Amino acid sequence: MKKVVVFILSLLIFNAVNAESEKALFSKCVDGDTAYFLVNENEIKVRFLAIDTPESVSTNVSEQPFGKEASDYTCNKISNANEIILEDEKNKTDKYGRTLAWVWVDGSLLQEELIKNGYGQVAYIYGKYKYTDSLCKVQKYAINNLLNVWSNTSYEEGYCKNKDVENTENNIIYDNLNKEDEKTKDTIDKLDKVSDKIDDVMNSPKFENVLLYVILIGSVVSLIFKETKKKK
């Protein structure tokens, strides 16, 4: 009984956490912050959330410094990935009809990897997104170490400029996810204890007696109801 209860509750928690995520397959590259993926056999164009990489293929803007490097980095990551997961935010699409998503590649958030290596910056933030504060932290690291786009003095910091965050090269998002995993584990442990208590109650002689009384009373009421119905 206890194992069944814990399994069902764990399954519900897992589904709730992953309700906004779906697996995808690589289809084709575009540039550093855009690509095509297959989801349920349908090809969709995905614009990576909360990041802007230098232009490399735009018809309206000439190729920008480190645009090709950012594009090559992204293409190499997604074309060689074993697993790609697209995670939604509240804004599902942009004004061009492109799907907006966090892109997880083999367990790593691609936006974080791009920013940490200096291939773009945190941008296009419309409201509070899940990982922007963490992304700003790794961006500070890239800026302080003059990585790629930040080696160009004309490249200006946008959204994160006034954010009071420490710079770090650590995978902040992984740390946050580990904390969430710990919270989930704590929740399951608490559910396990509740299940133990339920088992104790159900296996106690008192519970068996009460259950027997309920069954007997139910049977008597049912018989009385049937006899009354026959007389009518």
Catalytic residue ranges:
47, 55, 98
Best CA proximity match to 86, nearest among 41, 38, 134, 50: 38
Distance separating alpha carbons of residues 123 and 147, to the nearest angstrom: 18
HEC sequence for 156-169: CCCHHHHCCCCCCC
H or E element: which one contains 45? strand 42-48
Distance in angstroms (rounded) separating the CA atoms of residues 69 and 9 = 46
- Token pair of 214, please? 């309920």
